[in-house]
Amino acid sequence: MAGRQTRSAYFFVVFPLGILLVFTLVPTVVGLGLSFFQWNGDGPPSFVGFRNFQALFRDAKFWPALRNTMVYGLVSVPPAVLLAFLLAVAVHARWFRGKALVRTLFFMPTIISVVAIGFVWRWLLDDQAGLLNYGLRLVGVDDPPNWLQDGYWPFFWIIVISVWQKVGFCLVLYLAALAGINETLYEAAEVDGASRVAVLRHITWPQAAPMTAFLMVTGVISALMVFDLVYVVTGSTAGSISESDYTNVLNLFIFRQFGYSRFGYASAIGVVIFLLTVVATAAQLGLFAERGGKGAAR
Amino acid sequence: MSSLRRPSLPVRAAVHLGVYLVAATMLAPFLWMLLTSLKTDQEAAQAPTLGNLLPAVWQWRNYPRAVEAADLHLYYANSTVVAVVTTVLAVAHNALAGFAFAKMRFAGRRVLFWMTLATMMLPMQCFFIFAYLISRWLGFIDNWQALIVPFLASGFGVFYMRQAVSAVPDALLEAGRIDGMDDWDLFWTIVRPMAWPAITALAIFSFMNSWNNFFWPLIVIDSIGEKTLPLAVADLASGQYMQSWPETMAAATILILPLIVIFFFCQRAFVRGVALTGIKE
């Protein structure tokens, strides 16, 4: 730290920190507090204690949204991470041809707007003219489901699309992690005559474990806050949010309550999501730490 | 497993086949989108066969049609202004703050830096309500300020720039000071060029986030004229039935085109920019 005490430092940090304070820090703190008030944005908020939460737990729309959000978080992230790991191991191998091309292809869904992604999948899954149902009819399935309408099928496809969309991002990060593994570990394994599977299990996977932990934790956090994909795939509009119990998620539920200007109630749902992310993160970090500890003992 | 002996040819072939098959599923939906966007409505509705995979006559006018139907040119302009202004200002702010945190001493530096890190962990999407109310009180609702101002700094951006600027040797800055440079000169003539790779990566990342941002614009924009492109395109497919698949696919192609073009021209920086998010969230 060669710096001197300087006044221009404050000039450099005041505006960025002001933005973070006003648009992130204060809304979070106030949001936690607002969950104990009833408020439509005009006039003073009135304190209601835990009544927002009591009302929430009696709300018939809450439990399906909570269940779907948790299912989405649990089911969409691990397959994407695992698939990305296996692909990264293959692509990282020295004999693999076309690394750059593969990375480019896998990257496409990462940079593309969820709106476009939702559209193209809705087109592929269209009941009448969609490619999937055409293919199914071709192989003799006469009455394929209407994927975007029937029961849990839309939610199933939302999970599939989300896995498809996440794989590339995880792949790129895994490639960076694999490039950082110490070569001498592999050389030692080779000297010992370890099998390919043994090397994968006992060197590559544990060495990449910090990245796996990172991808799982951040993946689950963002999955618990899912909004865009569900909104687009269910054909919602700002005026009419799809509230089907088959596809509803907590963030869509907040958005709906926000539309009614029930700011206290909406904040209470925000607190529920927040607590879910805290519990999920703590549970996963505990899990990975325990595994890591055992690995070290072995 | 680079140092391990090569597997046999059939194994290598199978692995390549598997990886490329999955890779193809990343591209295929977008190719199908592009092809559909160039067909007539009737063609798109027909059962696909090898014969009608490609459009009989390439319907380029679907593009002007889509633009006209939804006034996409207006939203394109909105999105471009918002994304460019956000990117330029946000990168400048984050870089200056990163410089201050990395190379200057001032009272409260540690506390302020911890505050910055804390904002990286806070889930904005759960507590957007009060951010909306603040924007409303500031008179930001329904205009560009709402889309730009909250994104003029990010905890991640400040953190990332601090890491990048830390790599600049102190001796260089000292030499600059002896030559009589003030902190601005130091930033512009020494820090900026040396941290340029990090700055471009952050710029690409900011542009992508701004261009694709959906949730926040949906909340703060009510009137039609102020919408950004993703909102306008999403409106095309409101409800369960699309008016015209080719037109919708043309609009979606228009939406993703700028990022695809940027992606192909600066792929390395792009991959680095997204790999950055590895530290984020």
CB B221 within 8 A of CB B227: yes
ipTM of the complex: 0.89
Task: Kindly state the average pLDDT of the residues B8-29.
Answer: 94
A235 contacts in chain B (CB < 8 Å): 237-240
Q: Give residue A31's pLDDT.
A: 92
Say if A9 falls within a structural domain: no
Cα separation, A274 vs A254, whole angstroms: 12
Residue B192's SS3 state is helix
Q: Is the pLDDT of residue A292 over 70?
A: no
A142 contacts in chain B (CB < 8 Å): none
Distance from CA of A297 to the nearest CA of B (A): 24
Task: Check B183 against A4: CB less than 8 A apart.
Answer: no
The tokens describing A45, both together, are 């908020």
Q: Give residue A2's pLDDT.
A: 46
Q: Give residue B94's pLDDT.
A: 96
Ranked by mean pLDDT, the top range of A157-166, A234-243, B51-60, B258-267 is A157-166
Cα separation, A208 vs B170, whole angstroms: 34
> Tokens 């904005």 appear where?
B124
CB B85 within 8 A of CB B206: no
Cα separation, A53 vs A13, whole angstroms: 39
Q: Give residue A79's pLDDT.
A: 96
Task: Check B32 against A124: CB less than 8 A apart.
Answer: yes
Nearest by CB to B97, from A16, A134, A273: name it. A16
Q: Give residue B51's pLDDT.
A: 75
Q: Give residue A194's pLDDT.
A: 86
Q: Is the pLDDT of residue A88 over 70?
A: yes
Q: Give residue B28's pLDDT.
A: 92
A positions 129-188 inside 8 Å of B (CB): 129, 131, 134, 137, 148-149, 164, 167-169, 172-173, 176, 183, 186-187
Q: Give residue A295's pLDDT.
A: 44
Q: Give residue B278's pLDDT.
A: 53
For an interface test with A, the pick among B32, B50, B104, B152 (most A C-beta atoms closer than 10 Å) comes out as B104
Say if A1 falls within a structural domain: no
Task: Check A120 against B219: CB less than 8 A apart.
Answer: no
A274 contacts in chain B (CB < 8 Å): 123, 126-127
Provide the mean pLDDT of chain A.
89
CB A106 within 8 A of CB A168: yes
Assign B1 a pLDDT band (cuts: 50, 70, 90).
Answer: very low
Say if A40 falls within a structural domain: no
Q: How many CB atoms lie within 10 A of CB B156?
A: 20
Q: Could you give the number of structural domains in chain A?
A: 1
Task: Check B274 against A111: CB less than 8 A apart.
Answer: yes
Task: Check B3 against A114: CB less than 8 A apart.
Answer: no
Ranked by mean pLDDT, the top range of A150-159, B122-131, B267-276 is A150-159
Q: Give residue A27's pLDDT.
A: 94
Task: Kindly state the average pLDDT of the residues A23-41.
Answer: 93
Task: Check B1 against A112: CB less than 8 A apart.
Answer: no
Percentage of residues of chain A with pLDDT beyond 90: 63
CB–CB contacts below 8 A, A to B: 324
Distance from CA of A26 to the nearest CA of B (A): 8
Cα separation, B131 vs B127, whole angstroms: 7
pLDDT digits (tens, 9 = 90+) for B202-235: 998 899 999 999 999 999 998 888 899 999 998 8
Q: Give residue B100's pLDDT.
A: 95
Cα separation, A18 vs B121, whole angstroms: 17
Assign A4 a pLDDT band (cuts: 50, 70, 90).
Answer: low
Assign B49 a pLDDT band (cuts: 50, 70, 90).
Answer: confident
Say if A213 falls within a structural domain: yes
Q: Which has more confidence, A127 or A97?
A: A97
pLDDT digits (tens, 9 = 90+) for A195-204: 888 999 999 9
Nearest by CB to B16, from A2, A97, A187: name it. A97
Using alpha carbons, list the distances in angstroms from residue B148 to A25, A27, A76, B151, B202: 18, 17, 32, 6, 16
Q: Give residue B128's pLDDT.
A: 92
Cα separation, B121 vs A76, whole angstroms: 21
By residue range, what is the domain housing residue A269? 60-297
Q: Is the pLDDT of residue A270 over 80?
A: yes
Count of alpha carbons within 13 Å of B164, Cβ hemisphere only? Answer: 28
Task: Kindly state the average pLDDT of the residues A2-9.
Answer: 67
Provide the mean pLDDT of chain B.
88
Task: Check A123 against B99: CB less than 8 A apart.
Answer: no
Q: Is the pLDDT of residue B80 over 50?
A: yes
Task: Check B184 against A8: CB less than 8 A apart.
Answer: yes
Nearest by CB to A30, from B94, B109, B130: name it. B130
Q: Give residue B281's pLDDT.
A: 33
Say if A254 falls within a structural domain: yes
Distance from CA of B124 to the nearest CA of A (A): 6
Percentage of residues of chain B with pLDDT beyond 90: 60
Distance from CA of B230 to the nearest CA of A (A): 6
Cα separation, B93 vs B87, whole angstroms: 10
Say if A53 falls within a structural domain: no
Q: Is the pLDDT of residue A175 over 80?
A: yes
Percentage of residues of chain A with pLDDT beyond 70: 95
What is the CATH classification number for the domain harbouring A94?
Answer: 1.10.3720.10
A positions 188-207 inside 8 Å of B (CB): 189-190, 196, 199-200, 204
Task: Check A93 against B15: CB less than 8 A apart.
Answer: yes
Cα separation, B174 vs B13, whole angstroms: 57
Q: Is the pLDDT of residue B186 over 70?
A: yes
Say if A166 falls within a structural domain: yes
Q: Is the pLDDT of residue A240 over 80?
A: no
Cα separation, B157 vs B255, whole angstroms: 25
Task: Check B214 against A267: CB less than 8 A apart.
Answer: no
Q: Which residue of B has its CA nearest to A131?
A: B48
Q: Is the pLDDT of residue A5 over 50?
A: yes
DSSP run (H or E) holding A70: helix A62-92
Q: Could you please report the per-residue DSSP string of B168-180?
A: S-HHHHHHHHHTT
Nearest by CB to B19, from A87, A112, A116: name it. A87
A105 contacts in chain B (CB < 8 Å): 23-24, 26-27
Q: Is the pLDDT of residue A28 over 60?
A: yes
B278 contacts in chain A (CB < 8 Å): 173, 176, 214
Task: Kindly state the average pLDDT of the residues A273-291.
Answer: 88
Say if A85 falls within a structural domain: yes
- Report all structural domains of chain B as residue ranges with CATH numbers, in order of start: 9-61 (no CATH), 64-276 (1.10.3720.10)
pLDDT digits (tens, 9 = 90+) for B235-280: 886 654 557 889 999 999 999 999 999 888 888 777 776 666 554 3
Q: Give residue B56's pLDDT.
A: 86
B212 contacts in chain A (CB < 8 Å): 111-114
Assign B6 a pLDDT band (cuts: 50, 70, 90).
Answer: confident
Task: Kindly state the average pLDDT of the residues A13-28.
Answer: 94
